[in-house]
Amino acid sequence: MGVLVKICGITSVEAADAAARAGADFVGLVFHKKSPRNLELDQACALAARLRGRTRLVALFAAASDDEMDMAVKAVEPDFVQLHGGELPGRVADVRARFGVPVIKAFAVADASDLAEVASHDAEMFLFDAKGERAGGNGAAFDWQLLRGRTFARPWLLAGGLSADNVARAIQVSGAPGVDVSSGVETAPGLKSAEMIVKFVSEARL
């Protein structure tokens, strides 16, 4: 299997189509009001309908309430729920049981100590992102060598500061089986470039 690619924070039809055409494995729809990529339910439903069957849909939440998650999950019917807000293992287990949807658990990483808690989370996939002011999409990287040679019980994605210019090296250094990008394919916060999406996917799979 080749490198898995996730394009997160899709907000437009053009970006959605570009991600699908490029062969992205996952497309992320953000439900976090502090994010410039936050979607209202009607926007998310339209994008989900356009993408369904062309890629796997991921609904991203950060410290969201059950009610917030329930409305979005029912409306979008995602293939995965991504938890990006420092949720504890019990919360991850509760979300899996409550919604019956596989979970991608994100971890904010600055040093090796931030990886100590990974094994206690029962998720279908892990995502390692750089620590920043927002829950993802900060455009900052961490030391990729922290992940080199490590094994985890689940597949995982590398995120944080990735772009077409550095993704091949990031994969080489970290050994990542998959990558996630948001701000690295944008011309402005929340504004994805179709050309940059296509280039990113291509470079990730060289």
What is the tens place of the pLDDT at every residue in 137-196? 556 789 999 999 999 999 999 999 999 999 999 999 999 999 999 999 999 999 999 999
**What pLDDT, on a 0 to 100 scale, did the predictor assign at position 133?**
63
Neighbour-count burial of 183, counting CB atoms closer than 10 A to its CB (0-12 exposed, 13-18 middle, 19+ buried): buried
Query: What is the count of structural domains for the chain?
Result: 1
Q: What is the mean pLDDT of residues 99-108?
A: 95
Three-state SS letters, 139-201: CCCCCHHHCCCCCCCCCEEECCCCCCCCHHHHHHHHCCCEEEECHHHEEECCEECHHHHHHHH
The per-residue pLDDT of the chain, averaged, comes to: 93
DSSP state of 25: S
User: Taking the complete model, does pTM exceed 0.85, yes or no?
Assistant: yes
Structure-block tokens of residue 115 = 């990886």
Structure-block tokens of residue 80 = 């995965």
Q: What is the mean pLDDT of residues 116-127?
A: 94
**What pLDDT, on a 0 to 100 scale, did the predictor assign at position 200?**
98
Residues of the domain holding 143: 4-204
Nearest to 60 by CA among 47, 50, 18, 165: 47
**What pLDDT, on a 0 to 100 scale, did the predictor assign at position 140?**
78
pLDDT band at 1 (very low <50, low <70, confident <90, very high): low
Residue with tokens 């900052």: 140
pLDDT band at 134 (very low <50, low <70, confident <90, very high): low
User: What one-character-per-residue DSSP string does 30-91 give?
Assistant: EE-TTSTTB--HHHHHHHHHHHBTTBEEEEEESS--HHHHHHHHHHH--SEEEE-S---HHH
pLDDT band at 20 (very low <50, low <70, confident <90, very high): very high
Q: Which CATH number characterizes residue 11's domain?
A: 3.20.20.70
**What pLDDT, on a 0 to 100 scale, did the predictor assign at position 190?**
93
Contacts of 67 (CB under 8 A, 6+ apart): none
Neighbour-count burial of 4, counting CB atoms closer than 10 A to its CB (0-12 exposed, 13-18 middle, 19+ buried): buried
pLDDT tens for each residue of 28-54: 999 999 999 999 999 999 999 999 999
Say if residues 59 and 71 touch (Cβ distance below 8 Å). Answer: no
